[in-house]
A and B are shown apart, each in its own frame.
Chain A
Amino acid sequence: MILAIIENAFLSLIGSAIPASAVVMLAATGAMLGERVGVLNLGQEGLIGIGAVYSVIAVLSWGVESPWLAMLIGMMAAAVAGLIFAVCVVAFRASQVLVGLALALGGIGLSNQLGVNRNGTPIQTLFREVNPGGVLDNNDALSAFFFHDPVVYIAYVGLPVVLYFVLFRTRHGMNMKAVGENPAAADAVGVSVTGWRIFYSVLGAALTGAGGAYMVLSFTPTWSPDIARGRGWVALAVVIFAGWRPGWAVAGALLYGSMISLDTTAQARGWGLPFMGASDLSFFLSMLPYVVTLVAILIPAGAVKLGRRVRSTAAPAALAIPYSREER
């Protein structure tokens, strides 16, 4: 009986965590793409905002009726921002940290400005959930993993599988990793470090933009200022937690999502603790995702301290370091 309750609570937690952290999942995958080739983009927060606001504009002002098209427009807007970032840090070798922070702040500002007349307008053009059709119904325990919209499956299954395959099973992935680990080595064997870094920065930005689009086209679903609410930063932490491995990013994103859902679930069910009232508990729980994120990224760092460092989970050696062939 008790077990059944715990199981039920756990599954409903997962069921709401999955869509809650799909944004984080998309942004983490985007960030990971760039970082694998040595480009650290701290602007994820801004890219989510840009992706979200352009999807909103597409739907509300341009009359786009397909959520896929709206998402594509959001992705393209984020890709343009990503291209500007990439040209600055890769071609002109500006500091990735500074330009990334500028993109984070500028992206938030830009999207808030563009969204100012659209606050709270409900969005009707939404992704529809995938119905497994007859095999399961909404009350089944396993339903936690189903009845989500297609973007969720792309984010949690499609992208990680593709990225894993490319990174670890293809010539292309081998070259990608070399650009991130030792650009001079990649350059010496004829891999265009500049080209690859720009390409994957832009592609990564587009994926993060898709995360923003997903927020307004399914999760919230409306525009509100500061829409990312720290999810961009969490995505960066998830990449570290995952040790730059796509499969582990799923675990990291779900961990974060569960913490978010714990808060809403607790409020909905009026949970309390003997020494903490419902409202105190709510404050505590809304802090949890960030505390857990912090702890989660300290785990690999702690493992290094304890001398159990696994080389495959270390950051790409050339992360955030600009590359120039003629430097002596």
Chain B
Amino acid sequence: MTGDSARPAVETRGISKAFGGVAALDAVDFEVRWSEVHALVGENGAGKTTLCNILAGIYRADAGQVIVDGTERDFRSPAHAIDAGIGMVHQHFRLVEPMTVAENIHLGWPETPGVVSQRTLNERTEQFMGEMGLRVDPTAKIWQLSVGEQQRVEILRVLARGARVLILDEPTAVLTAKEAEDLFAVVRELAAGGLSVIFITHKLREVLAVSDRLTVLRHGIREITRPTEGATASEIARLMTGEERVLNVEHRVVTGDPALELRGVSALNDRGITALHDVDLTVRSGEILGIAGVSGNGQTELAEVICALRGLESGAITVDGADITSMSVRAVTDIGVGHIPEDRIGMGMVLSAPVKDNAVLHSYWTEQFSQGLNLNRQSVIDFAKKLVETARVQTRSVFATAGQLSGGNQQRLVARREALAADRLLVAAHPTRGLDVNAAQEVRSTILDKRDSGCAVLLISDDLDEVLLMSDRIAVIYEGRIMGVFDAADADREHIGLLMGGHSITEAA
């Protein structure tokens, strides 16, 4: 099944690629052997995904060679890469939601019979899954599956086409711990069977757990390729980030007036089911209240009711004593509430608009940027330039579209913009989700600076470490109810973990 084991499975020589004038990859040499799990490590925007997209035929390199099993290749489309035995499972799955598992596995596959019925597709899928030792219900529609199952469909689809090099892009980002363990086992087994697996990640624990060798990329340049054995997490981290920056957070107890108060707040989710039950919460000026909880327990709805994006069923919300329950989103923004949304791409910015317009998305109507109906272009540009500089957003110019920024840079931009807008209250929902170490530290510093300047902060995160690190007080949410509120000094990790899992205070104690 595999080629000559003395030759590398895949090799790149001097690969370069730029997006909108910014170099994503700079003359990268990379080599993967047969039968190995090769971890490709780096921060967001280091070029990991770009490199693999070139190997998978999604992007074309500006310069350099791709050599597969000793033969130089020029992939003009993913079909060429598949023919050469390279298959990629993307971070955002490429599955057709209204179709079944069996249909998705057979999509675009020359070996699919010309005339098909659900039955033959299901039978073929069953048989194939048996051979591979991976199982998903072939008749299920994609939208009915969990994320882990969807990923398995992607892997099956790639393997079905005879891929000998499997690329997994941040495969654990969306998985539960159990699902991730299962994935590691699958990956090890595939490599044992002679395949090569390229495992893109920025989680060091995974690198050490799953890979045989590792390559570190930083700013589009290869830092090192070495065997994983003998490598330490701190060593890899240093190579990834280039510098070590540790955030030192001092927790405090604040007794001032409440900036944000929720009294008996209940609200529905998008499906019309009660997502918040009678929530009472207080956030004081100059403190960070962290919301700990497993995602999907009402955190999204909590952020939305405070920012006037979702109506209440009952209860009241006040900011500095002013009732905002029936205010518009703009009115709430105007009184100084900033919101770093959970979905930065969908809600935080307009991807097709330039960075400069995104910088004033929340404030273009203010006197600073407009006179009557006219937008003052120069002041917008000046403001955006300053924002980009202070937030350390890497972009060619403020005229580049937000869609051309990497994920980390998008989040830096949104976080800094919202922090500036927030005079009284900053609602930060999963502000560092998907960010690398450096970008996460910068966003956290932005939030801490806000607190220190006297703003109230509501921090929502499903990363308990982050909540414990940042918060002055911690509230635990479970199924839309606040299970308890603790000062940072009294917070006990295990106790909070139990409450997050739905155990009540008495049970936990």
Contact = CB atoms under 8 A, between A and B. Distances in A.
B378 interface: no
B78 A189 contact: yes
25 contacts: A169-B117, A170-B115, A171-B109, A171-B116, A174-B103, A178-B108, A181-B97, A181-B98, A182-B94, A184-B94, A185-B94, A186-B96, A186-B108, A187-B77, A188-B58, A189-B107, A190-B77, A190-B78, A190-B108, A191-B108, A192-B77, A311-B98, A311-B141, A326-B58, A328-B403
B326 interface: no
Contacts of A327: 403
B18 to A, nearest CB: 12
A244 to B, nearest CB: 11
A27 B9 CA distance: 52
Contact of A175 (B58, B59, B108): B108
A107 to B, nearest CB: 30
Nearest to A193: B77
A171 B106 contact: yes
Nearest to A312: B98
Contacts of A328: 19, 403-404
Majority-rule SS of B interface residues: loop
Contact of A170 (B78, B114, B404): B114
Instruction: Sort chain B's interface into a size bin.
Output: 20 to 34
Interface string B84-125: 000010100011111100011011110011111100000000
Nearest to A186: B108
Interface of A: 169-172, 174-175, 177-178, 181-182, 184-192, 311-312, 314, 317, 325-328
Contact of B59 (A177, A317, A326): A326
Contacts of B157: 189
B98 A314 contact: yes
A264 B99 CA distance: 45
Nearest to A194: B77
B375 interface: no
B474 to A, nearest CB: 36
B106 A182 contact: no
Contacts of B58: 188, 325-326
B173 to A, nearest CB: 17
Interface of B: 19, 58-59, 77-79, 82, 88, 90, 94-99, 103-104, 106-109, 112-117, 141, 157, 161, 403-404
Given A190-B79, A191-B108, A192-B77, A185 B95 contact: yes
Contacts of B106: 171, 174
A188 B90 contact: yes
A214 B340 CA distance: 59
A192 B77 CA distance: 9
Nearest to A181: B96
A185 B96 CA distance: 7
A178 B78 CA distance: 16
A254 to B, nearest CB: 28
Nearest to B19: A328
Given A326-B59, A327-B403, A328-B403, A182 B97 contact: yes
B115 A178 contact: no
A131 B436 CA distance: 75
Contacts of A181: 96-99
Given A312-B98, A327-B403, A178 B19 contact: no
A178 B114 contact: no
Contacts of A185: 94-96, 104, 107
B250 to A, nearest CB: 39
Contact of B95 (A172, A182, A190, A191): A182
B116 A177 contact: no
A324 B104 CA distance: 21
B211 to A, nearest CB: 25
Contacts of B82: 189-190
A328 B107 CA distance: 24
A172 B114 contact: yes
Contacts of A325: 58-59
The 7 lowest CB-CB distance pairs between A and B, nearest first, are A190-B79, A189-B108, A185-B94, A188-B94, A171-B112, A191-B108, A181-B96
Nearest to B60: A326
Given A184-B94, A188-B90, 10 more contacts: A170-B116, A171-B112, A174-B99, A174-B107, A181-B98, A185-B104, A189-B109, A190-B108, A317-B97, A326-B59
